[in-house]
Structure 1
Amino acid sequence: MLLNKINPYLSLGFLSLSLTFAAQGQTLRDPTLPSQTYQSEAVANTQQSLVLNSVINGASSYAVINNKIMKVGDSVQGVRIVSIGKSHVSLSDGRKLQLFQSVTQR
């Protein structure tokens, strides 16, 4: 007789606990994910910076900039490629992209 009265209360308690945990689970964030500001900064940096990945010299010279194959006259982010050398690319805005720039600047 006593068990019949406790069962509804126990089931109601378990139900309220499970709803509480479900509500908290939706607001929790995965701690291994980078923050929102980090992601937006990374996207902004990749859109503004140009990286010379490699240069291919031969009868026609090609440059790989931001992982895209380019030749003289092509435009990347609104800037035209003026010339392609052995280890650099000259741009129409006066910039010169160097291979391994991050290593040589140390």
Structure 2
Amino acid sequence: MLPNKINSMAYASCLMMLLMSVANAQTLRDPTLPGQGFIAVMAKTDNQSLVLNSIVSGQHSYAVINNIILSVGDTVSGSGLRVSKINKDYVTLSDGRKLQLFQSITER
């Protein structure tokens, strides 16, 4: 009789531990998702933010600013600024300002 009680108690304990681990697993967050407090560093000009997203260097260089593909001489929409120069890790605007990529993006 005593072994049956021990077995049933062991089964109950295992079941409780299993249920607790399932409850804990539901509260875990996917570590590959971006953080909720992500803040981008941006240059400001007249109430509009300019963000240099990426640069494609080659025979014809292109810069992606505010998710719009631009080349030298193009106007950045809404700001009236023109793209003066596109280098491999920064873009110079007509007012002399430089938009630079994050260092971790340019280093390999």
Normalized per residue, the structure richer in helix is: 1
Structure 1 length as normaliser, TM-score? 0.48
Structure 2 length as normaliser, TM-score? 0.48
Q: Which has the larger radius of gyration?
A: 1
